Amino acid sequence: MSRVYNFSAGPAALPLAVLERARDELTDYAGSGMSVMELSHRGPAFRDIAARSEQSLRDLLRIPDHYRVLFLQGGATLQFAMAPLNLAAADARVDYVVSGSWGRKAVAEAKRLCRVRIAADGVDSGYTQVPPRDGWDTSADAAYLHYTPNETIGGVEFHWVPDTAPVPLVADMSSNILSRPLDVGRFGLIYAGAQKNIGPAGLTLVIIRDDLLACARADVPGMLRYEVHAEAGSMSNTPPTFAWYMAGLVFEWLRDQGGLETVGAQNDHKAATLYGAIDESDFYANPVETGSRSRMNVPFTLAEPSLDDSFLREAEAAGLANLKGHRSVGGMRASLYNAMPQAGVDALVEFMREFERTRA
Ligand code: PMP
């Protein structure tokens, strides 16, 4: 078997133990004689998978009882529209804090649906830092405040949770959910595409405070209403059963690692290893202000961009895959989600030092 260290931003690496378990259960799940992919979502075997998956997530994040967990489709991108459609009337004002390109996309979608006010925008810093809290222009009558705790492309992460009470806080946590402990009670709505820290693409996780479930506009179709999904146990229609099952395996794997405190400390250590290597060198650079650096997505550039292609080619040959930066920014990006082991980061740093030694 040959596995590489996969630094993709998403779909991203999954824990090998999870893939192996899925392989072992692939054609005969728990003596059913069927694959999970072949199980009826209404039958007892899948209902058990779904319930266990939700419970494991609740245990990991210590989700309070007055929050509902939804397993949806449509990606985080659909949540850019579902959040305003469900939480804000057409004439309502909503606040957005923008710290990078995903926040901008969320704004563009919300603008079609309600009155968006930009409470803060990191554009002046070139999106190299989280907009400082004291500069936010928020409104007490906003239906919610939306922000992006981790900007996957720019590598900018909030290391604190904004206090917006009584305005509900809405977070696109696609690229840093489950990367450390989280106080879910601070949020009104959390959403995340699965394909980074949760499981395969095709599943979208939503965690919503139950008093926000029934606020949707009257004309919002059923499939776009949180309340409908909550009442149906995320089975209003056929859910993405295999991705849901895989997410459950990932949650159990996280528990077996020691939970989010342990995983969070490992993530801190991985990020410190890579940023340390970048900072100690004149050949590599990361533009993000130290206090806003992402632990999950580390963009970096080479002093000589003409060497980018050989860097990527040689990294690939050394078993370090998907280091190419996002097409909008170029350079490199190493994504260090939960499934990336410290050994992968150590291998990357060793490769970077050797590349610098031979080229600089
Ligand atoms: N928000 C963030 C922070 C993301 O990183 C991504 C995907 N990279 C998205 C939203 C869009 O997610 P999806 O492709 O699941 O719609």
For residues 271 and 205, give the distance between their C-alpha atoms in angstroms, rounded to a whole number. Answer: 25
Q: Which of 121, 196, 253, 270 is catalytic?
A: 196
Distance (angstroms) between ligand 1 centre and the Cα of 100 equals 12
Q: Whole-angstrom Cα distance, residue 197 to residue 15? A: 10
Q: Which atom of ligand 1 is nearest to the CA of 10?
A: 8
Instruction: Report residue 108: phi and psi, to 5°.
Output: -60, -40
Percent of the chain as helix, strand, coil, to the nearest 5? 40, 15, 40
> How much distance in Å is there from the Cα of 32 to the middle of ligand 1?
35
Mean pLDDT by 10 residues, the chain (360 residues): 93 98 98 97 98 98 98 98 95 96 98 97 96 95 98 98 97 98 98 98 98 94 98 98 98 98 98 98 97 98 96 98 92 98 98 94
pTM here?
A: 0.98
Q: Which amino acid is at 314?
A: E
pLDDT for res 359 = 87
- 136 as an active site residue: the answer is no
The number of the ligand 1 atom at minimal distance from the alpha carbon of 78 is 16
On whether the CB atoms of residues 149 and 180 are closer than 8 A, the answer is no
Told to judge if 102 belongs to the known catalytic residues of this protein, a careful annotator would answer: yes
CB 327 within 8 A of CB 341: no
Q: Which of 229, 224, 228 is nearest to 82 (CA)?
A: 224
CA distance 68 to 218: 21
Helix (H) or strand (E) holding 192: strand 189-193
Closest CA to 144 of 184, 117, 105: 117
Residues 6+ apart with CB under 8 A from 118: 95, 96, 97, 98, 107
